[in-house]
């Protein structure tokens, strides 16, 4: 199914499950009502692909959104879920959406989750008691940066982040890779870094098969509200020096291309870029859902 379609978001919300709204200590699960905040970006674009959405679950901790299944979040989990195999390590738990979807795969033996908020773990265990995926999910309470040492994982997906391209992305990658034995190291927002690099051309990374398939779908999908294909709405967000630093930190090979020329952006893209920059105090924040 096309990850950039509303039907995909709907199917993923259905697979997650129709949990009751519930509060456990500092944690509250709410179902929100089919409207994304106007400043919410589509994962790879501006603006949202679907302004009217299905009802979706959102996890609040001390009144702030921790994670929600809006289209941008669901799209951002597509590649890591597909890349998961063998024994997977991930932080943190949030809604537990990614651990559940990974554990449901035949090719995944175990998903080991590191989560710092005890009430998030208590809420998750109560909400999903009896679900078969839980047999494959182990949850460890504490700070992933202290706990993820001397472990062996086929894939690590780091998602403790509350902003796009968090300042600790490179340091986390270097530390986790140096202290553990890891096959593939992925983190939340990596596909956006890869896409910006490909579009800008100054840093040309090697791609995984899952990234290639994901970005091919993006390139050929038409926006659900406008006639244009999705690349019309792309604007750069991750500068080339940060792309280079991130690819080096995660051990991803890349080669140099010609310097990026902003003159190659269309008027639409330049207008969108100006809006992104004007709204960066909002769009850099991951707490993106509001009812």
Ligand X SMILES: C[S@@+](CC[C@H](N)C(=O)[O-])C[C@H]1O[C@@H](n2cnc3c(N)ncnc32)[C@H](O)[C@@H]1O
Check residue 3 for interaction with ligand X (CB under 6 A). no
Which listed residue (1, 15, 143, 206) binds ligand X by CB under 6 A? Answer: 143
Q: Are strands 56-61 and 27-32 parallel, antiparallel or unpaired?
A: antiparallel
Check residue 117 for interaction with ligand X (CB under 6 A). yes
Which listed residue (11, 19, 24, 116) binds ligand X by CB under 6 A? Answer: 116
Q: Which residues 229-248 are close enough to bind ligand X by CB under 6 A?
A: none
Residue 184 near residue 252, CB atoms below 8 Å: no
Which listed residue (70, 87, 88, 144) binds ligand X by CB under 6 A? Answer: 144
d(CA 209, CA 224): 26
Which listed residue (145, 166, 223, 252) binds ligand X by CB under 6 A? Answer: 145
| From 34-42, 81-89, 110-118, 213-221, span contacting ligand X (CB under 6 A) | 110-118
Q: How far is the CB of 235 from ligand X (least distance, A)?
A: 23
Cα 271 versus chain centre, distance? 25
Which tokens go with 198?
A: 């490909």
How distant, in Å, are the alpha carbons of 107, 138, 149, 159, 206 from that of 114?
A: 21, 9, 12, 10, 29
Q: How far is the CB of 125 from ligand X (least distance, A)?
A: 14
Q: How far is the CB of 92 from ligand X (least distance, A)?
A: 2
Give the binding-site size for ligand X (rule: CB under 6 A): 20
Torsion over CA: 166, 167, 170, 171 (sign) = negative
Closest CA to 157 of 254, 71, 212, 86: 86
Check residue 66 for interaction with ligand X (CB under 6 A). yes
How far is it between the farthest Cα atoms of the chain?
56
27-47 core/surface letters (b: 16 or more CB in 10 A; e: else) = bbbbbbeebbeebbbbbbbbb
Q: How far is the CB of 227 from ligand X (least distance, A)?
A: 33
Residue 34 near residue 57, CB atoms below 8 Å: no
Check residue 154 for interaction with ligand X (CB under 6 A). no
Check residue 289 for interaction with ligand X (CB under 6 A). no
Residue 46 near residue 273, CB atoms below 8 Å: no
Check residue 97 for interaction with ligand X (CB under 6 A). yes
| From 115-123, 201-209, 224-232, 255-263, span contacting ligand X (CB under 6 A) | 115-123
Q: How far is the CB of 186 from ligand X (least distance, A)?
A: 12
Q: Which residues bind ligand X (CB under 6 A)?
A: 66-67, 91-98, 114-117, 120, 143-145, 159-160
């Amino acid at each position: 199914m096309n990850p950039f379609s509303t039907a995909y978001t709907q199917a993923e919300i259905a697979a997650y499950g129709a949990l009751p709204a519930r509060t456990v200590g500092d944690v509250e699960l709410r179902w929100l009502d089919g409207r994304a905040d106007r400043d919410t970006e589509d994962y790879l674009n501006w603006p949202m692909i679907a302004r009217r959405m299905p009802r979706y679950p959102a996890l609040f901790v001390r009144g702030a959104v921790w994670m929600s299944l809006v289209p941008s979040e669901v799209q951002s989990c597509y590649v890591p879920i597909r890349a998961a195999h063998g024994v997977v390590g991930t932080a943190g738990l949030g809604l537990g959406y990614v651990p559940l979807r990974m554990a449901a795969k035949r090719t995944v033996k175990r998903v080991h989750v590191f989560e710092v908020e005890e009430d998030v773990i208590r809420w998750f265990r109560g909400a999903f008691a009896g679900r078969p995926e839980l047999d494959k999910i182990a949850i460890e309470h504490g700070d992933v940066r202290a706990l993820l040492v001397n472990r062996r994982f086929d894939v690590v997906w780091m998602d403790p982040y509350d902003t796009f391209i968090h300042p600790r992305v490179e340091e986390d990658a270097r530390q986790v890779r140096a202290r553990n034995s890891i096959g593939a190291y992925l983190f939340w927002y990596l596909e956006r870094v890869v896409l910006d690099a490909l579009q800008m051309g100054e840093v040309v990374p090697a791609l995984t098969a899952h990234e290639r398939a994901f970005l091919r779908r993006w390139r050929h999908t038409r926006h659900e509200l406008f006639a244009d294909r999705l690349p019309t709405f792309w604007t750069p967000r991750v500068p080339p020096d940060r792309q280079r630093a991130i690819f080096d930190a995660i051990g991803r090979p890349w080669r140099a291309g010609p310097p990026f020329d902003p003159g190659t952006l269309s008027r639409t893209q330049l207008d969108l870029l100006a809006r992104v920059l004007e709204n960066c105090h909002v769009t850099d924040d991951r707490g993106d859902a509001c009812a």
